[in-house]
Chains A and B, each alone.
Chain A
């Protein structure tokens, strides 16, 4: 992957997000139950899915590091988790906004999906402090990879357990899709938004990986030049 490959990916993500959001407002029909407020579904749910998948991918890269994948695997694990944390914040905010307009409350503690997602988010909030607490880069990478693997395995288990629970207040739109009851325009719009958010996520991940790997290369050049590092060293960011 080079800088050259980022430009078409960036353009593609902007186009897809624009198309997806336009379809959400202009193509998808109004929901008979929730009306216009259901439009948040096309933003909130794809972000949530991509965030959870990102956490799992972070765990996979963590496993790669533990199996001898090198610092590149640790870097990718870190970036995937970092990006997923940003998306998770978006999920919580958009979910709260949707809850406010649909239920009249920003948050409900009796809603399993909300609380379980909050638990996952809070779990990953400990990732950077864990890294920062370990000075030695290799020990830091190893501990962070173990965390990424365990937490990454927790994500699908947590999701499956919540889905199997009996009491629901949250709309189970995806299960409706499995039943074939989701209207085609809604399904097409949802899948378009899902692809758009996924491509945007992949673009941002590559930007961050490129930024950090370039920093590493500069640092290595500084060492070869025999001078002090110009970049502050103590960080939760993986060290090359």
Chain B
């Protein structure tokens, strides 16, 4: 399969180029920060000599190109720099936060993927009827509600009135995993609500197209039971584009995490980025955003490969 190899090579190259541009954008964006770093750390009343000294110590007085190369070089070796606020390496913060966010994202995906694919496929088997229209319009409307709005509704309903779920997701050391999971349900729900509409729409569109395809008609005319037709012929073709949508939503997901983690006081990568933004903690902000962007590029790449692997047409072509 030399063609597939070339395709994968091309896709990898594109991903690397995207990552390179991404790092330049993040670095450039962060360097536009008003004032200088030393001044930001020491405050407006500090002695100019002290400011210059700390700038020199941090390397903030060197030319931009050198600073970029130094920054990205160390970054690739796992050294994400020193936090201006905590005066300690950034990497452990980013690592711990990322792990927490992955837990939250996993809970959200575990809830939303079966739910939305199920709803989308069901809607497709009832095209044009009220069940289809209800699922489509509800999904479409829920998708555009900002997470903090649905989170407020959920907190009031499940946290304050019914008292079923805790309203803070903060994890203290020693909390067992079952309690952690319970605390993650409510923060995961706003993400589920936004993602549901997207994934359900793609699953529905894919299923509708597959149901109309010739191979489905052949399968039905062959006399195969409806169950077999749906599971063996329709779903396999319908869910391919859905995989890409699920992966492409990882980028959105991280934006959503900023809001949700802040609202529920959960120490993830989203709240880390916001904390760094509020504290103007440049290295932390750069590292957080770059890690998030890299994760998204990798997820997209993985989805493309998975889709190519599952689709015999892409393999053969």
Check if A and B associate.
no
What is the interface of chain A, defined by CB distance below 8 A to chain B? Answer: none
